[in-house]
Amino acid sequence: MKTVSISPNGTEYKLPTEAESANELKELKKITAEQRKFGRKIVAVQGMGFVGCVMAAVVADAVDEKGEPLYFVHGQQRASLRSFWKVPVINRGIPPVNSSDAEVPKIFHRTVVEKKTLRATWLNYAYKVADIVVVDIQLDATKPTFGDASQGYCDMSAFRDGMKNLGMHISTECLTLVETTVPPGTCENVVKPLIEEEFTKRGIDIAKNPPLIAHSYERVMPGAKYVSSIRDFWRVFSGVNEKSKYVAREFLNNILDTEKYPLTELDNTNASELSKVMENSYRATNIALTLEWAKCAEKIGVDIHKVRAAIRKRKGTHDNLLRPSLGVGGYCLTKDPVLANWAMGAIFNIDDKLKIAINSVDINDTMPLHTIDLIKEEYPELKDVKIAVLGVSYLENLGDTRHSPSETLIKFINEFWAIVKTHDPYVEFWAEMENVPIDKSLSDALKDADVVIFAVGHTQYLELDPDEVVAMTGKKPLIIDCSNFLNDEKIKAYLRAGCKVKGVGKGHIGKLVLGAG
């Protein structure tokens, strides 16, 4: 039986023993008593994932008018093989995520080491003493058939277990604030009944003490403004009853900059939940539209990125037109339309589909195959072709690989028996693709490459000199630009070096070869 949790950088952490859990309980009771003496409320954040860990730090960093901390935060992470390593890492004041935002390591050091207002734990006792529990459990959509998101569904078993666990431990005055993106109807039809059931088992009269439940979704933008996107951004919220709304409003006003970014309160949690998935469905559809037009632009000799820039000059109506790329990744746009589509039948028993949103997911999911088509125009048989993929995260200057388009790209390239090497300055271990090594050295990844794919726009890649790239390969490789990472001058430099260059939506490159542009 495995008893070791391994962090992304390969460090091993032993799972806690019963004796260690007993000592941890004593420590939690001691800390909680001390914090109560300071008059601080206790917040437990359920799940130390990409959103939960930074949310916990933001809450722990909140202060009153005198500059005194408002809350003490227990960051609760289950003692599982997959995630337990986050507990000891956080408790050293180190963030469990890798980001280009310099504020991330600062806020963890400040709250854990300096203020001592944040501490991670694996014990459920954190819920027992909490005034507020912020739910940040991962909830994904399953798409059993590649390219057919209409078959997608949501397995809520782990989420339901988490809600039952809260119902077994929280007090009747504790607010459960669901921050996880959930299918519409979840708070009313899943969270509320489960907590009520557990309250009843505990002998609590739910008519006199109905559970306090609210929903407020995050709009996290991983990257250079990671922390700010949680603390300094507009929030939408609602609750299952008026008291829930009141407590949620007070809490959010305390931890967020609501003077500059006022809260938006909706009528009920169904509306708040719908707001999040519709918002991301809009963005997914926006991107799918540009991907479709990018293919058109390639065929008629047009640079779609210059066209997009011209369109975006029409401020107020068209300036939010998103860009085409390798594909769409991350935790939101790939699943939120699926959650909403699934909820129509599974939660609300409505016989209908969100056709445009689901079609957009299909376009986005299959877009990495287009990059393979671009390569095959030069290498019809990919067997033994050496391909260097620069970037495996789903977004520039970020170490998050969840649903990365590079994953889809490499899986399909491997089916053609090509030889793939990867590099990413933000990713040390690719959890979703454990058998794909990531070269620590860019020169090692590029050596002998027949094809170089600029998959992700990390700053390091954008600053590369074309002659330097060619020298590191030792060849004249085919260059693939997946999202306008190379301007025309750099493309010309590659062409002068004897390389061929292709790009998503870059139909004008052939004219650059002829000296135009």
Q: Summarize pLDDT for 162-183 with one digit per residue, the tens.
A: 999 999 999 999 999 999 999 9
Q: How confident is the model at residue 470 (pLDDT cuts 50, 70, 90)?
A: very high
Whether residues 263 and 374 fall in one domain: no
Whether residues 168 and 26 fall in one domain: yes
Report d(CA 406, CA 44) in Å as an integer: 35
The yes-or-no verdict on residue 239 having pLDDT over 90 is yes
Residue 267 placed within a domain: yes
3-state secondary structure of 147: coil
Report d(CA 444, CA 95) in Å as an integer: 29
pLDDT number for residue 402: 85
> Based on the structure, what is the number of domains in the chain?
2
Whether residues 250 and 372 fall in one domain: no
Domain C-terminal end among 254, 272, 290: 272
Distances from the Cα of 63 to the Cαs of 37, 72, 253, in angstroms? 16, 11, 11
Q: How confident is the model at residue 434 (pLDDT cuts 50, 70, 90)?
A: confident
Domain C-terminal end among 231, 252, 272: 272
Whether residues 257 and 112 fall in one domain: yes
Whether residues 381 and 253 fall in one domain: no
Range 443-449 average pLDDT: 97
Residue 87 placed within a domain: yes
Report d(CA 471, CA 465) in Å as an integer: 10
Whether residues 266 and 408 fall in one domain: no
pLDDT number for residue 366: 96
The yes-or-no verdict on residue 395 having pLDDT over 90 is no
Domain C-terminal end among 255, 272, 289: 272
CATH of the domain at 460: 3.40.50.720
Residue 494 placed within a domain: yes
Whether residues 501 and 380 fall in one domain: yes
- Helix %, strand %, coil % for the chain, to 5? 45, 15, 45
Residue 443 placed within a domain: yes
Q: How confident is the model at residue 271 (pLDDT cuts 50, 70, 90)?
A: very high
Residue 318 placed within a domain: no
Considering only CA atoms, which of 326, 289, 337 is closest in space to residue 311? 289
Per-residue pLDDT tens for 59-69? 999 999 999 99
Considering only CA atoms, which of 170, 207, 205, 208 is closest in space to residue 191? 170
pLDDT number for residue 514: 47
Whole domain around residue 387: which residue ranges?
Answer: 367-513
Q: How confident is the model at residue 223 (pLDDT cuts 50, 70, 90)?
A: confident
The yes-or-no verdict on residue 516 having pLDDT over 70 is no
Residue 309 placed within a domain: no
Per-residue pLDDT tens for 144-165? 999 999 999 999 999 999 999 9
**Amino acid residing at 134:** V
Whether residues 255 and 119 fall in one domain: yes
Better-predicted residue by pLDDT, 471 or 82: 471
The yes-or-no verdict on residue 142 having pLDDT over 80 is yes
Whether residues 234 and 126 fall in one domain: yes
Count of Cβ atoms closer than 10 Å to residue 68 Cβ? 11
Range 226-235 average pLDDT: 93
**Amino acid residing at 512:** L
Encoded tokens for 233:
């951004």
On average, the pLDDT of the chain sits at: 94
Q: How confident is the model at residue 513 (pLDDT cuts 50, 70, 90)?
A: low
Count of Cβ atoms closer than 10 Å to residue 23 Cβ? 12
Range 484-499 average pLDDT: 96
State percent of the chain over pLDDT 90: 86
The yes-or-no verdict on residue 237 having pLDDT over 80 is yes
Range 302-321 average pLDDT: 94
3-state secondary structure of 195: helix
Residue 316 placed within a domain: no
Residue 300 placed within a domain: no
What predicted TM-score, i.e. pTM, was given to this entire model? 0.89
Whether residues 14 and 159 fall in one domain: yes
State percent of the chain over pLDDT 70: 99
